[in-house]
Amino acid sequence: MRKRFRFFLQAAYSFYNVATTVPLKQLIEDALCLAKQLDFDVFNALDVMENKSFVEDLKFGIGDGFLRYYIYNWRCPEMKHSDVGLVLL
């Protein structure tokens, strides 16, 4: 299969996912289909909140681990990834 050459990547991001009428995995599957239809090159999701419930089943690849989080509440106790929510500005 041949794809046109571009000088940039189009990246789709999954940050906060709320699904009350469908399972979260189904919501992300639909988002992946939409990203493909819209010709995105990559679909990113962090391992925060409930995301671990779908990343393995949907065959997400693990990144290089060099993403850095800047936390400003130093008195906060250590937390699991599933307990963390991020706001990206």
Measure the CA dihedral 55/59/65/68, to 10°.
-40
Average pLDDT, the chain: 78
Is 88 a domain residue? no
H or E segment at 71?
none
pLDDT band at 3; cut points 50, 70, 90: low
Is 18 a domain residue? yes
Segments forming the whole domain that contains residue 58: 11-83
pLDDT tens for each residue of 17-52: 888 899 989 999 999 999 999 999 888 887 777 888
Is 5 a domain residue? no
Mean pLDDT of 14-19: 82
Is 45 a domain residue? yes
Does 86 or 59 have the greater pLDDT score?
Answer: 59
| Phi/psi-derived region of residue 24, left when phi > 0, alpha when psi is between -120 and 50, beta in every other case | alpha
